Amino acid sequence: MSADQKTVIITGASQGIGASLVLAYRNQNYRVIANSRSIKPSADADILAVPGDISEPATAERIVREGLARFGRIDSLVNNAGIFLAKPFIDFTQEDYDANMSVNVAGFFHITQRAAAEMLKQGSGHIASITTSIVDQPIAGVPAALASLTKGALNAVTKSLAIEFAKSGVRVNAVAPGIIKTPMHPVETHTALSALHPLGRMGEIRDIVEAVLFLENASFVTGEILHVDGGQNAGRW
């Protein structure tokens, strides 16, 4: 184990954007601590799979503890785990609210607090969160108030922590995607969803991965909400 080989924590790492982030960071020679409820052990000695519900403090504690025991350091965190649910505001249930708050907010809070503590000790690190462009640019016909409530909070705390940690060597940024082509969107919906972007297409998983890696390596960038949304955030269209 190389003492200077960096380590990243990635949540929501078992599929979609998260699974692609794991591969991308490994290609950058990072060791990866991968978490999701259903994550499976990896044959790669430089990937530590830690299953568990990221909204639970005990899961965050275990991720950091086991990661440090295995790799000795934590350099980056990608808060990828999240829920996006679109429905009319008055139709949201208590269960909807609880699920969104637990994964999107508590899931950010517990792991970020613990990972940041380790980064602050070593005087370096990077925290990135996946939010959503709809926070800043609501779309008629896509009612998503819980996304705005929870992911909007992540945009706000990104800037707050960027300033709080600015002199410590720890940077904090976010990527705000448009609608990304993942298995959660059936193929028959792609034409309609593509039309919700000025560029006329849905985003690809690689678009988000590339944005995260850009921020990872952009040493003079902190407090940034990077919109990767096919032009949605530019204005009405």
Model confidence over 134-155: pLDDT tens digits?
A: 999 898 889 999 999 999 999 9
Write the CA distances from 64 to 12, 45, 146, 199, integer angstroms.
Answer: 15, 17, 29, 40
pTM for the full predicted model: 0.96
- Report which residue type is found at 237: W
- Name the stretches of the chain with pLDDT < 70: 1-3, 237
User: In the block, which residue shows the tokens 């720890």?
Assistant: 170
Task: Please state, in angstroms and rounded to a whole number, the distance separating the CA atoms of residues 224 and 233.
Answer: 14
Cβ atoms 173, 126 nearer than 8 A: yes
Residues of the chain above pLDDT 90, percent = 93
> Can you give the pLDDT at residue 141?
85
Task: Please state, in angstroms and rounded to a whole number, the distance separating the CA atoms of residues 154 and 172.
Answer: 11
Question: In CATH, what number does 7-231 get?
Answer: 3.40.50.720
Task: Please state, in angstroms and rounded to a whole number, the distance separating the CA atoms of residues 151 and 30.
Answer: 27
Q: What is the mean pLDDT of the chain?
A: 96
Task: Please state, in angstroms and rounded to a whole number, the distance separating the CA atoms of residues 146 and 237.
Answer: 24
